[in-house]
Amino acid sequence: GENVEQHPSTLSVQEGDSAVIKCTYSDSASNYFPWYKQELGKRPQLIIDIRSNVGEKKDQRIAVTLNKTAKHFSLHITETQPEDSAVYFCAASTQSPNAGNMLTFGGGTRLMVKP
Amino acid sequence: DAGVIQSPRHEVTEMGQEVTLRCKPISGHNSLFWYRQTMMRGLELLIYFNNNVPIDDSGMPEDRFSAKMPNASFSTLKIQPSEPRDSAVYFCASRAGQSNSPLHFGNGTRLTVT
């Protein structure tokens, strides 16, 4: 099955700096890569996703890049703010043998933005 | 849209007791997932339903765990008997269609087994 590795496990940045989180995946057939943000005590929420037919996608201060050849994708947050502090999860789709796609999650990155 | 609704939000029980967690997916979503989250193991997929049919239950840790989806608007995850190592946050999530559409999570049930 799919295996998703995420680095770093913790990341501390100064407010205003950029943060980059990287993930690798193993299944070359994976074609959907979402990123989730989970604040303390809350549910994971989708912040951005990318499909394999594009190499980059941006939404205000966040962007995701995808390199299908190397099987890695990254989340970039610019001009970080204290409210960006959370755990971020990457995920990759895995084709179920019977129906649909399942998501395999990375281990998460705890981002701390210091004011 | 109320989103994915889970109950209870918190459950504290003694070892050996039966625990039932409940989930109502978003209306119109035909795929439902149960995840378990712990500090040590992160987000683990337990079981996945498509059109109320269990598709992949390879993540269910033991026979003590069972899940059902009797109709499109309700699913349960049962643990019987519960053990302290089952303590975790259990998330239900739903998705529309079989394509690569976003997964929507419920607020989770925090289970503590003493």
Place of tokens 């129906």: A99
In this predicted structure, what is the pLDDT of residue A100? Answer: 60
What's the pLDDT at A97?
60
Let me know: does A63 contact A44? Beta carbons within 8 Å.
no
Q: Look at residue B100 in the predicted model and tell me its pLDDT.
A: 74
B99 chain-A contacts, CB cut-off 8 A: 100-101
pLDDT tens for A32-57 read: 999 999 999 999 999 999 988 888 99
Tokens 């701390």 belong to A112
User: Rounded to whole angstroms, how far apart are CA atoms A100 and A94?
Assistant: 9
pLDDT score, position A47: 97
Report the distance separating Cα A21 and Cα A8, nearest Å: 7
Low-confidence ranges of chain B (pLDDT < 50): none
CB proximity A40 to B under 8 Å:
no
Mean pLDDT per 10-residue run, chain A (115 residues)? 92 98 93 94 95 89 95 97 97 70 89 96
* Distance separating alpha carbons of residues B79 and B73, to the nearest angstrom: 21
Q: Which of A1, A13, A31, A27 is nearest to A88 (CA)?
A: A13
Q: Which two tokens stand for residue A94?
A: 């895995």
Q: Which pLDDT does position A96 carry in this prediction? A: 60
Contact A110, A9 (CB under 8 A): yes
Residues of B in contact with A10 (CB under 8 A): none
- Cβ–Cβ under 8 Å, residues B6 and B21: yes
Task: Assess contact for B100 and B33: CB atoms under 8 A.
Answer: no
Judge whether A98 is closer than 8 Å to chain B, CB to CB. Answer: yes
A31–chain B Cβ distance below 8 A for any pair:
yes
Which residue from A45, A51, A104 is facing B100, i.e. has the nearest CB?
A51
Strand ranges (DSSP E) for B14-64? 19-24, 31-38, 42-50, 53-56
Contact A101 B99 (CB under 8 A): yes
Per CB-CB distance under 8 Å, the chain A contacts of B104 are 46
How far does the CA of residue B55 sit from the closest CA of chain A (Å)? 7
Residue A65 confidence (pLDDT)? 96
